Amino acid sequence: MTYGGIDFFTVYIPSFLMLILFSSSVFSVGNQLISDKEKGIYKRIRATPISLVRFISVILIKATIIAMLGFMLIMISASVCFHIPLGVKKIPFFFVYVLFTLFALMLGIIIALLVKKVNTYTMVMMTLFFPMFFLSDATVPLTMMPKWMQEAALFNPLYHANRILRYFWNYKFHILYRNNIWESFMFLFIIFMALFCLLLVRWKEAYDEF
């Protein structure tokens, strides 16, 4: 099937990867860090010769490996089962995916520093996940939705992440998004900086809670 002259897998492969990245990096990392913090694990580690940074790095490496495995499995499936051409033209997309992985991990850490209780984090993330997922253009095309939902999607980080990954996945999206792709980069940058500034404001309190 095609959507505006673009085939199904050209549209949805980057979308699948974006959803894997969100679940394996932002949600899982944040959930584990907050859970460990709530149990007092990091306070005990800080009283030992083991570096807290080293301990957290293991969690981040695990999340990165999961994100990369998800990437490779989808790429292999796309190539072997659906004959999607890969080649050197997909190298920029791979590097963008790696950058998004780092971006997602940083978001997970920042959120973990800001939130105190794992129940609060889980409740908020699960409440937000459905509308974010539904309005990301990763499942039902936004063009099929009411106008107000299309406008609401403009405030959805997953929607903008999806657009950027699609832009680097296939040249047809260069034509489709070339006039406004900068808006997606700017929106994600503003989200990150807002969270980062909030973290700086309450850094000492957040670190002591760790």
Give the tens place of pLDDT for each residue, 95-138. Answer: 888 888 888 888 777 777 777 788 888 787 777 778 888 888 88
CB 157 within 8 A of CB 187: yes
Q: Which residues pair with 2 in a beta bridge?
A: 7
Pick the residue with more confidence: 14 or 2? 14
**Confidence bin at 174 (pLDDT 50/70/90):** confident
Give the tens place of pLDDT for each residue, 3-40. Answer: 555 666 667 888 888 888 887 777 788 888 888 888 88
**Confidence bin at 186 (pLDDT 50/70/90):** very high
CA distances (Å), origin 84, targets 61, 79, 139: 29, 5, 20
Confidence at residue 177, expressed as pLDDT on a 0 to 100 scale: 81
**Confidence bin at 61 (pLDDT 50/70/90):** confident
Average pLDDT over residues 156-171: 87
207 has pLDDT over 70: no
- Rounded distance between C-alpha atoms, residue 154 and residue 150, angstroms: 7
CA distances (Å), origin 124, targets 14, 128, 132, 148: 26, 6, 12, 23
Q: Which residue has the tokens 């699960």?
A: 126
